[in-house]
Structure 1
Amino acid sequence: MLKSLLEAIDILESKDPLSKIREKVKGIKYEEKNFGEVTYLKAYYGNGGKKRVEILGRLGAIQMKDSKGLVSDADGAIVSLALILELINLKDKGITFDVDVSVVTNISLNAKLIPHKPFNFMIPLIDFNDALKEEVDPNADLILSIDSTKGNRLAKYDDFAITHVIKDGYILKLEDEVIDIYNRVTGHEVYMVPLTTGDLLPLDFNVYHISTLISPWLYTDSPVIGLATVSKQVVPGYVTGVLNMEMLEHTSRFCLEILKYVEKEGKIYNEEELKEIEEKLGKSNLIRVKRGST
């Protein structure tokens, strides 16, 4: 995984990353969509697997205008690109997965800054909801949403942190086996992102969001797990020189191990718990704020 990670960073730091990516993904289904300065890339692995998992790299941009090098916000693009490169590398070695994978991220050299404390959010140079529509794979059975979340005062760890499952407006506990994967990959106890109700609301609600990590749930009926690249320091998304290689490798490897787990029909959350909640309380009121569904 480390080799693929280093290759992803090398590609994204180049003057023309898209041409290099196109060369690397020959042989698998791949498409690009341009929205002005924003280019979304979508790479697809597999053909008729048991399940479909989306690896979604969320970010405003990999670089900022006049910056030199990858910014902190680029983590989602780095991890998602590293994952597809690793899948291609394993396929070349004869190692394949009976699970379909869609990898989605954007490759942009500038982003919008919107008000947020302690530092402004970076979002793509298109309408935020349009970005989410483009990012969410409607055919995915599970979405792993990866987003740099260093500009906050709550999730302050020295490795990536994870959310519980977001499904149908409820926050549901991760299955213990998923936490076990996290423990094995990182070598330490699980680091959780402390979510509030505000985090599940659209960004146009004037409430605190730790990041836009789990916003994709607004456009899918499938479960979403947030993977937040964080730091002990409060770091703006638009600064350079803060890539944490160990954290990025752990995040990438966690995604790969989740694919193996899903291939073996492992459960992400307890479906009976959601059924119990809905039978006793009804559908979540947060369903009303959804902007789209499968």
Structure 2
Amino acid sequence: MSLKQTFCAFELLDSATVNGDDVVALFANYPTVSATSVRVTGTRGSSDFVRIKIPGSRGKICSGHAPTLGIIGRLGGVGARPSRIGLVSDADGAIAAIACGLKLADMQQKGDVLPGDVIITTHICPNAPTRPHSPVDFMDSPIDDAPMGQNEAIPEADAILSLDTTKGNRIINHKGYALSPTVKEGYILRVAEDLLRIMEMTSGRRAVTFPITMQDITPYGNGIHHINSIMQPSTSTRAPVVGVAICTESVVPGCATGASHETDIALVVKFAVEVAKEFGNGICNFYDADEYARLLALYGSMSHLQSVK
């Protein structure tokens, strides 16, 4: 059950004064968990980048060899003050990421230690700017794209889940969450069968996926339309990345308040935790390595799509 942790993260972030140190304090009673916060100042303000490390029994932190899962809570900001009062829809990614950390920390304290390390990152800004976007306005970030990518990157990760509110579009007409195809070094690969299986197992419903385009996996700042920033982590890593979109049937602006649904976020947390269990144990694949090698042999590298020309 992940609803308790979701409520905890939700209530903490629903504040005009919340910062990264408040998130770090949540993990003070978990001695094996490392939580840190660094404030980064940009052209339009500042945000606190939080990093949570949950070591596995056979993970790299303990000199083991079990694979590391990275979880990124992607967003512009948790609030748009002073133009909006309260938690914005865009905060869902941060809530989910923090709740994942709390759930895994609770499990570890009760004796359920995962084999692989899990590293979680997100950022906390209660007064981020907004920006125009079709069909509805987006939340913007006080941090420019390059430092955003640098501070949320997880170089230790062998695979990454990017959790992001994805409600401001007419592409995903589903309330809950949906999975993207796997993206690796400029290639959009097929949707991972193991992730579909885990999604159906944890939700009790048929799997839901969403399409992405070549535009979506290119870096922000190139003047090309993106569905949102959910696939941006794929531009700064060699690891496979899958977007986990927290979504709705209707079109909801990222800067809308009163638009977050705790049960949907909790489902995402449950999914991510189960992926972490299986991935660290070597029984969950984000992509077919042989098929990827065949693509490289036939068509060459597509990594040039990871940079702005």
Q: TM-score range by the shorter chain?
A: over 0.9
Q: Which residue of 1 aligns with 2:3?
A: 2
Distance in 2, Cα, partners of 1:174 & 1:153: 21
Which one of 171, 188, 201 corresponds to residue 205 of structure 2? 188
The yes-or-no answer on 1:38 pairing with 2:47 is yes
| Aligned-residue offset at 1:206 | 2.7
| Aligned-residue offset at 1:6 | 0.9
Which one of 232, 237, 251 corresponds to residue 215 of structure 1? 232
| Aligned-residue offset at 1:181 | 0.5
| Aligned-residue offset at 1:175 | 3.1
The yes-or-no answer on 1:102 pairing with 2:103 is no
Which one of 169, 180, 204 corresponds to residue 152 of structure 1? 169
Q: Which amino acid aligns with 1:40?
A: F
1:81-140 deviations in whole A, cap 9, x for unaligned? 001111111122111111111110011012233332012322320111210111111111
| Aligned-residue offset at 1:17 | 5.0
Superposed structure 1 runs of 4+ greater than 3 Å apart: 14-20
Tell me if structure 2 keeps the 8 A contact 1:60–1:110: no
Which one of 292, 296, 299 corresponds to residue 274 of structure 1? 292
| Aligned-residue offset at 1:174 | 3.1
Matches within 5 A, 1:85-124: 85-124=102-141
Tell me if structure 2 keeps the 8 A contact 1:12–1:62: yes
What are structure 1's unaligned runs of at least 5 residues?
A: none
* Cα distance change on mapping 1:16 and 1:278 into 2, 3 Å: closer
Secondary structure at the counterpart of residue 39 of structure 1 = strand
1:275-294 deviations in whole A, cap 9, x for unaligned? 1111111222xx224249xx
**Number of aligned positions between the proteins:** 290
Distance in 2, Cα, partners of 1:101 & 1:201: 26
Distance in 2, Cα, partners of 1:182 & 1:124: 30
Q: Which amino acid aligns with 1:234?
A: V
Distance in 1, Cα, partners of 2:172 & 2:6: 24
Matches within 5 A, 1:126-141: 126-141=143-158
Tell me if structure 1 keeps the 8 A contact 2:19–2:125: no
Q: Which residue of 1 aligns with 2:58?
A: none
Q: Which residue of 1 aligns with 2:255?
A: 238
The yes-or-no answer on 1:288 pairing with 2:304 is yes
Tell me if structure 2 keeps the 8 A contact 1:202–1:218: yes
Q: Which residue of 2 aligns with 1:25?
A: 27
Q: Under a length normalisation based on structure 2, what TM-score does the superposition of the two structures give?
A: 0.89
Secondary structure at the counterpart of residue 201 of structure 2 = helix
Distance in 2, Cα, partners of 1:161 & 1:58: 15
Q: Under a length normalisation based on structure 1, what TM-score does the superposition of the two structures give?
A: 0.94
| Aligned-residue offset at 1:68 | 2.8
Tell me if structure 2 keeps the 8 A contact 1:183–1:189: yes
Which one of 101, 104, 128 corresponds to residue 84 of structure 1? 101
Tell me if structure 2 keeps the 8 A contact 1:102–1:137: yes
Q: Which residue of 2 aligns with 1:59?
A: 75
RMSD: 1.6
Secondary structure at the counterpart of residue 242 of structure 1 = coil
Distance in 2, Cα, partners of 1:226 & 1:59: 13
| Aligned-residue offset at 1:18 | 3.7
Q: Which amino acid aligns with 1:29?
A: S
Distance in 2, Cα, partners of 1:255 & 1:172: 20
Q: Which amino acid aligns with 1:276?
A: R
Tell me if structure 1 keeps the 8 A contact 2:132–2:138: yes
| Aligned-residue offset at 1:182 | 0.6
Q: Which residue of 1 aligns with 2:265?
A: 248
Tell me if structure 2 keeps the 8 A contact 1:38–1:125: yes
Q: Which amino acid aligns with 1:71?
A: V
What are structure 2's unaligned runs of at least 5 residues?
A: 56-60
| Aligned-residue offset at 1:19 | 4.2
The yes-or-no answer on 1:259 pairing with 2:276 is yes
1:65-84 deviations in whole A, cap 9, x for unaligned? 13332110001110000011
1:217-245 deviations in whole A, cap 9, x for unaligned? 11100100101111111000111111112
